[in-house]
Amino acid sequence: MLRHLCCFSASLLLVSAQIGGGARPVTGPPGRPGIGTPQPNGWGTYTPATFPNSLTDFTACQMPGESLMCDPNAILTDGDLTANHAMLDHVLDSIRSSTQCACTSEDENFGQCEGEGGFTVSLALVDKIELDANQDNKVDRMQAASKFANNLRVLQDHGQCDDDVTIFLSRKDDVMWTATGKVAERYLTPELINAITLNAENYFVKGEYTNGLNYTLTKYGQILRGEQVDLTPPGGWYWPFPLWAVIVIGIVCTLVAIALIGLAVWGCTRCCCADKAEYTMGTRM
pLDDT of residue 54: 94
**For residues 119 and 188, what is the distance between their CA atoms, to the nearest angstrom?**
11
183 shares a domain with 264: no
pLDDT of residue 37: 34
If we measure between CA atoms, which residue out of 81, 74, 72, 76 comes closest to residue 28? Answer: 72
- If one counts the domains in the chain, the total is 2
Tell me which residues of the chain have a pLDDT lower than 50.
Answer: 1-43, 238-239, 281, 283-285
User: What is the separation, in whole angstroms, between the first and last Cα of the chain?
Assistant: 82
DSSP state letter for 268? H
pLDDT of residue 237: 52
SS3 181: coil
Q: Does any domain span residue 136?
A: yes
Q: Does any domain span residue 201?
A: yes
249 shares a domain with 198: no
Q: Does any domain span residue 232?
A: no
Number of other CB atoms surrounding residue 42 within 10 Å: 21
Range of the domain at 283: 245-285
**For residues 227 and 261, what is the distance between their CA atoms, to the nearest angstrom?**
51
If we measure between CA atoms, which residue out of 60, 46, 86 comes closest to residue 173? Answer: 46
Q: Does any domain span residue 230?
A: no
pLDDT of residue 10: 34
Q: Does any domain span residue 34?
A: yes
pLDDT of residue 31: 33
- Would you say 108 and 114 are in contact if contact means Cβ atoms under 8 Å apart? no
Q: What is the CATH number of the domain that holds 140?
A: 3.10.310.50
Single-letter amino acid, residue 53: N
Q: Considering 171, 189, 224, which residue would you say is the last residue of a domain?
A: 224
Instruction: With residue 125 as reference, give the H or E element that holds it.
Output: strand 120-126
Number of other CB atoms surrounding residue 22 within 10 Å: 15
If we measure between CA atoms, which residue out of 176, 250, 284 comes closest to residue 220? Answer: 176
**For residues 170 and 175, what is the distance between their CA atoms, to the nearest angstrom?**
6
**For residues 124 and 46, what is the distance between their CA atoms, to the nearest angstrom?**
11
My answer on whether omega of the bond before 30 falls inside 30° of 0, hence cis, is no
192 shares a domain with 271: no
**For residues 220 and 10, what is the distance between their CA atoms, to the nearest angstrom?**
27
Could you please report the per-residue DSSP string of 11-66? S-EEEE-S---SPPPPP-STTPPPTTS--TT--S---TTTSPPTTT-TTTTT-SSS
pLDDT of residue 27: 29
**This prediction's pTM:** 0.69
pLDDT of residue 4: 39
